[in-house]
Amino acid sequence: MIKDADEIQAMHLHKGPPESVPRLILDHGYPVETHDVTTADGYILEMHRIPHGIVPGSGPGEGSKTPILLAHGLMCSSAIWVFSGPKYALAYMLADAGFDVWLGNVRGNTYSARHTKLSTDETAFWEFGIDEHGYFDAPAQIDHITATTGAQKMFYVGYSMGATMFYIMSDMRPEYRERFIAMFALAPAAQMSHTTSIFKRIADYYDFIDGFLDLFGINRLLQNSFPVKLFNYIFCSHMTIDLCKYGLLMLTGFDIMDLNQEIDDEMAPVFFKHLPAGASRHSVMQFAASVISGKFTKYDYGSFDNEHVYGQEEAPEYKIEKSTTPALIYWAENDSHTAPEDVEWIKERLPNVVEFRKIDVDGFNHLDFVWSKKAKDALYTHMLDKALILDRRNKSAS
């Protein structure tokens, strides 16, 4: 357990700014490391690692120490796995159970807005979508974990877009299909034809919104920049925090009677300091396009440009059935983003689903998977039990 600055320096830990993910982890008494990972196309991704827990039996050299990669959703960062604190957050639970916890960040978010050659002020930096997250970002982070730990197999937890990335990687990068003990999919996203979320609104006005963004050269959306931080400071302070709660939950679906039970006034300011963490225009519009098409495809440039990029008028569909990793899928009835029908679509196509579990909590919505206090008992404890069983089985077989 880390106690003072001398121990921090001795362990070569990166403390970071007061509101950073490494600082949040450190302030809760857990060890933390910051790792820079460079993708094959030059993006520099920042990963955060909790190498061990702080409860007896989970320290250095104790417990499983099997790596587990946690992949966040759209507009998110590694913060979603830790901001609710050791009592409720999944990352701390996994570390205390003996796992080596790695928190990923994809290109373009708060922690991964760097490139070996490009500046974030250049349009070329933002010319990426979910395709690149799956083809470049996830594999680079997986390779780094293996290079650092020597582990040939690991667990993968994908929340929303984090699961999307896994399906893309499984299709386009077959060499990674055997690198996982199991994949936990929390509110997974692929095609989104039944969504009633903000993506349905964007899809309804797709051509207008895409044309507007293109006309004004807007390639990044809701980056955690000064204007966003200023907005959060003014409208998401302790006095006005309910405005942010209601505004955000209107986009995700919520049970109004449980609002303050799910997001208490102490946790909310921390949450809004880390979200939104930014995304590219292409990533957002790619999800909106799937609402229209009802398909899980590569980025749709339009028939003319598709012909040039893909050699066909329609964007090619991803083959989700190529994801042969044992899959444990968790979904919620009240999830307006990844609707039950769309999660069922994923289940029907995956060849190795070992668990398909509905979260049996009234009003449980898309964001509740990573911020609700109820997620611990309704979801995380079950996931942890499954991970421990699968880990022991994998070690016995090897």
Residue-level pLDDT at 217: 67
The amino acid that residue 373 corresponds to is: K
Span 13-17, mean pLDDT? 45
Identify the domain containing residue 297 by its residue range. Answer: 21-397
pLDDT of 11 reads 39
- Model confidence at 115: pLDDT above 50: yes
Mean pLDDT, range 245-266, rounded to an integer: 51
In a domain, 115, yes or no: yes
Q: Report the C-alpha gap between 216 and 398 in whole angstroms.
A: 55
Give the lowest-confidence range in 156-165, 197-206, 326-335, 386-395: 197-206
Per annotation, catalytic residue among 210, 335, 342, 368: 335
Query: Do residues 103 and 39 touch, judged by C-beta distance below 8 A?
Result: no
pLDDT, one tens digit per residue, over 273-304 is 766 777 888 999 999 999 999 999 999 998 89
pLDDT at 257: 36
335/255 Cα distance (integer angstroms) = 11
**Of 77, 160, 290, 372, which is the active-site residue?**
160
Query: Residue 213: what pLDDT?
Result: 80
List, in sequence order, every beta strand (DSSP E) within the chain: 33-38, 43-50, 67-71, 100-103, 114-115, 154-159, 180-186, 220-221, 279-280, 327-331, 353-358
Closest by alpha carbon to 45, among 132, 169, 149?
Answer: 132
Per the annotation, the verdict on 64 as an active-site residue is no
Kindly state whether residue 191 falls inside one of the protein's structural domains: yes
Considering the domain boundaries, does residue 130 fall inside one? Answer: yes
State how far the Cα of 213 lies from the Cα of 194, in Å rounded to an integer.
25
Q: Is residue 229 part of a domain?
A: yes
Question: Terminus-to-terminus CA distance in the chain, angstroms?
Answer: 32
In a domain, residue 5? The reply is no
CA dist list (Å): 336 to 215, 240, 340 = 30, 25, 9
- From residue 156, alpha-carbon distances to 8, 249, 381, 397 in Å are 28, 27, 16, 19
pLDDT at 18: 52
Distance, CA of 141 to CA of 138 (rounded, Å):
5
Which of 366, 368, 372, 391 is catalytic? The answer is 366
Does a structural domain hold residue 379?
Answer: yes
Q: CB of 178 within 8 A of CB of 323?
A: no
Among the residue ranges 11-25, 52-66, 192-206, 383-397, the one predicted with the least confidence is 11-25
- CA-based angle 74:79:84, to the nearest 5? 120
Measuring CA to CA, how many Å separate 378 from each of 136, 145, 339, 362?
A: 33, 29, 19, 11
Q: Return the pLDDT at 34.
A: 96
Q: Which residue has the higher pLDDT, 203 or 116?
A: 116
Predicted confidence band at 398 (pLDDT cuts at 50, 70, 90)? confident
Residues 276, 37: Cα–Cα separation, whole Å:
22
247 versus 123: the higher-pLDDT residue is 123
28 is catalytic: no
Least confident span in 77-81, 154-158, 275-279, 389-393 = 275-279
Residue 121 is inside which H or E element, if any? none
- Determine the pLDDT at residue 233: 53
With bands split at pLDDT 50, 70 and 90, how would you rate the model's confidence at 214? confident
How many percent of the chain have pLDDT more than 70? 81
Establish if 82 belongs to a structural domain. Answer: yes
Q: Given this model, what pLDDT does residue 10 score?
A: 38
- Whether 342 has a pLDDT exceeding 90, the answer reads yes
pLDDT tens digits, residue range 355-367? 999 999 988 889 8
Question: What is the pLDDT confidence band of residue 60, given thresholds at 50, 70 and 90?
Answer: confident
344 is a domain residue: yes
Query: What pTM was computed for the model?
Result: 0.88
Which tokens is 63 given? 């417990």
- Contact call for residues 358 and 348 (beta carbons, < 8 A): no
- The pLDDT value given to residue 246: 60
Given 3-state DSSP classes, what are the helix, strand and coil percentages for the chain, each rounded to the nearest 5?
45, 15, 40
CA 313 to chain centre: 31
| Mean local confidence (pLDDT), 237-260 | 52
Report how many domains make up the chain.
Answer: 1
Task: Label residue 250 by pLDDT band (50, 70, 90).
Answer: low
Q: What's the pLDDT score for residue 197?
A: 85
Rounded Cα–Cα distance for residues 297 and 392 (Å): 36
**353, 327 in Cβ contact below 8 A?**
yes
Report the C-alpha gap between 80 and 371 in whole angstroms.
7
Q: What is the CATH number of the domain that holds 128?
A: 3.40.50.1820
* Cα(209)–Cα(215) distance, integer angstroms: 10
Tokens of 28: 């809760």
pLDDT at 267: 64
